[in-house]
Chains A and B, each alone.
Chain A
Amino acid sequence: MNPGLPGTGIGGLFYILSALWMPICEARRRWRGDAAGRWTVVARQFAIAVGVVAAMSGVFWALDTLLALDQIAAHVAGRQHAAWTLRVSALLVTSGVLAAVLGAVQLARLCLKLRTLRPAAR
């Protein structure tokens, strides 16, 4: 079974970032001497992540070209390069939401840790 909706929302960004982090993680594992020759997997997943980023950039480029997004956005926002600003904002919002969700998980973990430590300290 698959939980949730694969291929959607911040999940996509989470797995892209996780895959982009893999070469660094693998190098660190190698450095520690606990890697088991997983460079093929790392390279493959890294390539997929780069491909997904390229594909999404292509989508934005196509939308710009087909829908003249820049003119529409400039008309709406009343300034130049508005579409570029929109794109950057969209990326920042998605990254921000992902960071908030991951931050909330860490916060919940800390709260739970503190709650379990408190009775022991009494």
Chain B
Amino acid sequence: MGLTVIIPAYNEAEFVGDTIRSLLAQTVPPREIILVDDGSTDGTAEVGHRAGITVIRPPRNTGSKAGAQTFALPWAGTELVMAIDADTTLEPTAIERLLQAFSEPGVGAACGFVVPRRIASVWERGRFIEYLYAFTFYKQVQDYYRRPLISSGCFSMYRTDAVRRHGGWKGRTLAEDMDLTWSFHQAGVGVRFVPEAVCYPIEPFNFRLMRKQLRRWSHGFIQNVSLHWKGLLAVPFLRSAVAVALWDAIVASLAFLVVLPMLIVALHSPWLLLAYFIDAPAILVPLVIGAIPRREFGRTLLSLPAFFVLRLVNGFYFLEAVWSEWFLRRPFRTYEKGH
């Protein structure tokens, strides 16, 4: 099966060279690699030209990753198309392993395991734990029930005709990957998660970038729930997984950020602080199982505290998104790159 890779890029000259090199070093290389230079001013296009891949440029900045990817879709002349972020590298066997998912009839999308490439700051460490937990436990359960919640935008492969039927990657929400995945589930197009296909994106390494990413993700989730809720009700397992995720994101955030601080003050009980990380041993179980084969046990233990910091910050931005999207009716539409 032929494969075209689309790399949407806006001012990614620093990282896109690594992405292209990792694509060219695949055990099953793609037939074509298209770099969408979305109005960059830092020489991103030159990196692509030097590597000998196809570089295209929209007449003006499309304003989002979805726009850049959809702009490139007519150039994809293969049965399969893959979207990869311009700051993401792959294990040499990643494409080969992801391709195997398409031998199953009805599969229209497949995604892999995501591990941050750099794990140094508190934000990168928090994200490392979040991914390791979610991809070792939640996502594998979702895949078993044939309903992965998201085919991650940073590294996913699709049947080209299925994406075309959907009208490409739409910019109507800030989470185009979730939008496409949920549309596929509703249309009966299969989505698979292949844990053996590993990718390494650059994650936000400071608070400024993390804030942008969390805002985009939280608003994107709310926007997708608003857009798809009726359709989701017809999809078994997915409807439950989304409802539970939404409930937790609202109620747990309120508990962590409002109820617990009030209780601690009212009862003068520092023991209540334990509630912020009482689930640490339970979280550690999937982490250990995920970390041992990767030989990252030490790094996992060292990074665990950062997860609880990220969880609180995540909760704040989630509540902000709910308030802004559902109560103030003020949708957030600006696509701010936060890696």
A and B assemble together: yes
Q: Which residues of A contact B (CB under 8 A)?
A: 1-12, 14-15, 18-19, 22, 25, 38, 41-42, 44-45, 47-48, 51-52, 54-56, 58-59, 63, 67, 97-98, 101-102, 104-105, 108-109, 112
Residues of B within 8 A of A101 (CB): 243-244, 247
B133 within 8 A of A: yes
B124 contacts partner chain A, Cβ-Cβ < 8 Å: no
How far apart sit A15 and B278, CA to CA, in the bound complex (Å)? Answer: 18
Instruction: Say how far A30's CB is from chain B's closest CB, in angstroms.
Output: 14
Instruction: Say whether B324 faces chain A, with CB atoms less than 8 Å apart.
Output: no
B210-248 toward A: CB 8 Å interface, digit per residue (1/0)?
A: 000000010011000000001001100101111111111
Q: Is B136 an interface residue (CB 8 A)?
A: yes
Given contacts A3-B150, A14-B241, contact A48 B252 (CB under 8 A): no
Among A7, A44, A51, A67, which residue has its beta carbon within 8 angstroms of that of B133? A7
Residue of B nearest to A47 (CB): B289
User: B279-287, B295-303, B327-335: which one contacts chain A?
Assistant: B279-287
C-beta contact mask, B234-269 vs A, less than 8 Å → 1, else 0?
A: 100101111111111101110100000000000000
Whether the Cβ atoms of A4 and B246 lie closer than 8 Å is: yes
How many whole Å from A15's CB to the nearest CB in chain B? 5
Tell me how many residues of B have a C-beta within 8 Å of chain A.
56
Cα(A104)–Cα(B315), bound, Å: 23
Contact of B134 among A6, A22, A48 (CB under 8 A): A6
**B325 to A: closest C-beta gap in Å:** 14
Is the pair A59, B271 in contact by a Cβ cutoff of 8 Å? no
Please pick, from B131, B141, B253, the residue contacting A19 in the complex, using a CB distance under 8 A. Answer: B141
User: What 7 pairs across the A-B complex have the smallest Cβ distances?
Assistant: A4-B245, A4-B249, A51-B285, A55-B281, A9-B248, A109-B233, A8-B252
Q: Are B315 and A59 in contact (CB under 8 A)?
A: no
Q: Is the CB of A18 within 8 A of B245?
A: no
Residue of A nearest to B315 (CB): A5
Most buried by A among B244, B281, B284, B314: B244
**Known: A5-B253, A102-B240. Is A59-B278 also a contact (CB below 8 A)?**
yes
Please determine whether B244 and A3 come into contact, CB atoms closer than 8 angstroms: no
Given contacts A15-B141, A38-B144, whether A6 and B133 have CB atoms under 8 Å apart is yes
A19 to B239, CA, bound (A): 17
- CB pair B311–A8 under 8 Å, yes or no, is yes
Q: B68 at interface (Cβ–Cβ under 8 A)?
A: no
CB closest residue in chain B, given A29: B144
Asked if B175 is at the interface (CB within 8 A of a chain A CB), the reply is yes
Closest to A26 in B: B144
Chain A nearest CB from B324 CB (Å) reads: 17
Q: How many angstroms between the C-alpha atoms of A4 and B271 in the bound complex?
A: 26
A58-B141 in contact given A4-B318, A52-B286, A105-B240 (Cβ < 8 Å)? no
Given A11-B248, A104-B243, residue A48 in contact with residue B285 (CB < 8 A)? yes
> Which of B141, B144, B220, B248 contacts A8 (CB under 8 A)?
B248
* Chain A residue nearest to B150 in the complex (CB): A1
Contact of B140 among A44, A102, A105 (CB under 8 A): A44
Contacting residues, chain A, for B141 (C-beta < 8 A): 15, 18-19, 22, 45
Do B144 and A22 touch across chains, with their CB atoms under 8 A apart? yes
Choice from B130, B140, B145, B177 contacting A6 with Cβ under 8 Å: B130
Residue of A nearest to B242 (CB): A3
Whose C-beta in chain B lies nearest to the C-beta of A19? B141
